[in-house]
Amino acid sequence: MTSIAETIDREGLTHDNAPWLRRLAYDLRENRVAYFMLAPSVIAFLALVLVPLVTVILGAFVRSDAVGRLQLDQFRAMIEDPNMAGVWQQTFLFVFGSVILTVLFSFPLALILNQKFPGVTLAKALLLLPWAAPLAITSMTWRWIFHDQLGALNYLLHLTGITQENIVWLAKANLAFPVVTFVEVWSSIPFMTITFLAGLQAVPPQIYDAAKMDGANPWNEFWDMTLPQMKRVLMIVSLLSVIWAFRSFTVIWTITQGNPFYRTDVSVTYLWKVAFQNLRFGEGFAIAFTTFLVLVVFSILYTRVLRSEEMG
């Protein structure tokens, strides 16, 4: 009859140097229900995230000539593309401009909705409506609003006497780029405001009571109490917003498709044109990998700053 000690020894539980395959097999037997429940998520992650990422990396780098020498023509074509410098400049301007503007609008709005006043519940519900609508429908609606002939905005400007000329909003680069940035900000405000509101409601109210007893005015409460408590939320939400803005495709493609003359293109929309319209897949892989690399570097730097702020 096998003793318990021998069973444990055979399973490899008492040996620090037990083979990892044996430990994995034991863990799978003991937690098979948990692994079974996790299996769909793991499969979806592999199919929808890991496989496309590996495909992009392989497409960007794994290309050789007849004698097996590695070719980097994809990145050379991307660097020599005459539109690429402008596209990256527009990408950074679009991403960081839209995120900064969204924060500047969302945080004060969250502060207002954190107060108690008649209709605050209705205001919160109305705030969610733009976010609940599909982004493609929202972008199409704004495209019609900014239409130079049939748009509601030009009609309103005529009606109020501000101008009697039809402003061509989407055919001029100096107007089209602010338009797509505005729509990106408008569509991002609800989520960021609700997130900020959740963070504000998690702030202990006792600190405000103590501050009032010490004679603090509303500005002191905001600067010395609210902002320090909301710093982590602000940084995390800003990081997520930057990542989402980097891959923002729907707004620009629905409204302008990068026109006029690539002046409203960002990296993801220009990637689509290069790879799927011009069939330059190698250069498209290079743009995709570069965008991914920029996001990884930015995320690492941002999280390090966040960690140093917490330790300080």
Rounded to whole angstroms, the Cα distance separating 170 from 121 reads 37
As for how many domains the chain has, the answer is: 1
Q: pLDDT by residue (tens digit) across 81-111?
A: 999 999 999 999 999 999 999 999 999 999 9
Q: pLDDT by residue (tens digit) across 62-73?
A: 764 444 445 567
**Lowest-confidence region among 4-8, 97-101, 130-134, 159-163:** 4-8
In this structure, is residue 59 part of a structural domain?
Answer: no
Rounded to whole angstroms, the Cα distance separating 179 from 166 reads 16
Say how many C-beta atoms besides its own lie within 10 A of residue 288's C-beta: 22
In this structure, is residue 80 part of a structural domain?
Answer: yes
In this structure, is residue 1 part of a structural domain?
Answer: no
Distances (CA, A) of 265 to 76, 96, 102, 141, 228: 20, 15, 20, 20, 37
In this structure, is residue 8 part of a structural domain?
Answer: no
Q: Quick one: what percent of the chain has pLDDT higher than 70?
A: 89
In this structure, is residue 212 part of a structural domain?
Answer: yes
Domain residues for the domain of 135 are 75-311
Which pTM was predicted?
0.82
What pLDDT does residue 83 have?
Answer: 94
In this structure, is residue 56 part of a structural domain?
Answer: no
Whether the link from the prior residue into 190 is cis, omega within 30° of 0, is no
In this structure, is residue 66 part of a structural domain?
Answer: no
Q: Using pLDDT thresholds of 50, 70 and 90, give the confidence band for residue 76.
A: confident
What pLDDT does residue 54 have?
Answer: 84
- pLDDT mean over 228-241: 89
For position 307, which CATH number holds? 1.10.3720.10
